Amino acid sequence: MRTLTYYPGCSLKTSSKFYETSIREVFSAYDIGLKELDDWSCCGASAAHTINETIAHALVARNLSLAEQENYPLFAPCSACYNRSKITNERLRADKELRDEVNRANEPLKCLGTLEVKNIIEVLSEYAGVERIARKIAYDLSGLKVVPYYGCVLTRIMNMETFDDKENPTSMDTLLWATGAEVAEWPFKMECCGASKTLTNKETTLRLSSSIMDMAITMGADAIVTPCPLCQLNLDILPYLGRGARNLPVLFLSEIFELALFGKLSGAGSHIIPVDEAIKKVIKVKTINTYEQRKNNGDD
């Protein structure tokens, strides 16, 4: 059993609660344990650093301080939470003056910037691994064509090394391939969905998210797959934002794993855009192509 300190952030306890349920079920299948961080608080996400960078670091450092006491890597499934946690952790490790200023604000807590901060793609890639993922498949997803949607903040962390290419990431593509789904290459994997503009300018989110949805439909996809709670929400609420055109289901990355492992979604009823048609494409089979067979066949 590999254990991670789990920072859910605000979304996974509210609008994306079913994402947390999905993650726990999938991680359990790969013997990955989650220890939720005690007394965690909001990290400021996409808003705080636009107002005051030092306060933004202090908000994040409070959680990092608590996590450092656990001595496990910190898992942040929300893309914005991961982005801010990664930045603050690295900045405080390298900048003693900033570290001292932030720690004064959070006394008696102290953050040293010593954590490993990981997102869901990194956890599944490193702790489950492509071969193990492929070998544990119980349901055939080959009839399900998906487009991987990373969103605009997961890999675009400037001035530091990231787990994947900043502008053309492929790590989630690889994970999806390992589950047996058909993965389409498309040009919108990094486009912005509107993010928190949904609160102040719904027309912007409608325009940006509709463009993503339209491109996914053009690519012949059956579903959009994302690791980001805000991306999933903005795309999923398109009918409520006024989009009258066709919509595709928007699944979390962990939900594709649910389909491959269990053939069903624990949070199917929590989606606004129905997911029934996507689930129907999942087939229980007695034998499927092994990892080695798929590699040898060039099935990518």
State how beta strands 74-75 and 117-118 pair: parallel
Task: Single out the residue of 122, 34, 39, 46 nearest to residue 85, CA to CA.
Answer: 46
Instruction: Report mean pLDDT in 10-residue bins for the chain, 300 residues.
Output: 96 96 98 97 80 91 97 96 96 96 97 97 98 96 97 92 94 98 97 88 95 98 98 97 97 98 97 97 73 57
**pTM to 2 decimals?**
0.93
SS3 224: strand
What is the predicted pLDDT for the residue at 146? Answer: 98
Taken in order of first residue, the domains within the chain and their CATH numbers are 2-118 (1.20.1050.140), 130-296 (3.40.50.11810)
Cα 90 from Cα 114, distance rounded (Å):
8
* pLDDT digits 0-9 by tens, 171-209: 999 999 999 999 999 999 999 999 888 888 899 999 999
What is the predicted pLDDT for the residue at 158? Answer: 85
Q: How many CB atoms lie within 10 A of CB 278?
A: 27
State the burial class of residue 245 (Cβ atoms within 10 Å of its Cβ: 0-12, 13-18, 19+): exposed
What is the predicted pLDDT for the residue at 229? Answer: 96
Name the H helices within the chain.
17-29, 53-68, 79-94, 96-105, 120-123, 130-135, 171-179, 202-218, 229-236, 238-241, 253-262, 276-280, 291-296
SS3 73: coil
Cis ω for the linkage preceding 108 (within 30 of 0): yes
What is the predicted pLDDT for the residue at 221? Answer: 98
What is the predicted pLDDT for the residue at 172? Answer: 98
What is the predicted pLDDT for the residue at 133? Answer: 97
SS3 271: coil
Task: Single out the residue of 27, 12, 78, 34 nearest to residue 261, CA to CA.
Answer: 27
Task: Single out the residue of 178, 149, 208 nearest to residue 299, CA to CA.
Answer: 178
Residue 238 corresponds to which amino acid?
A: L
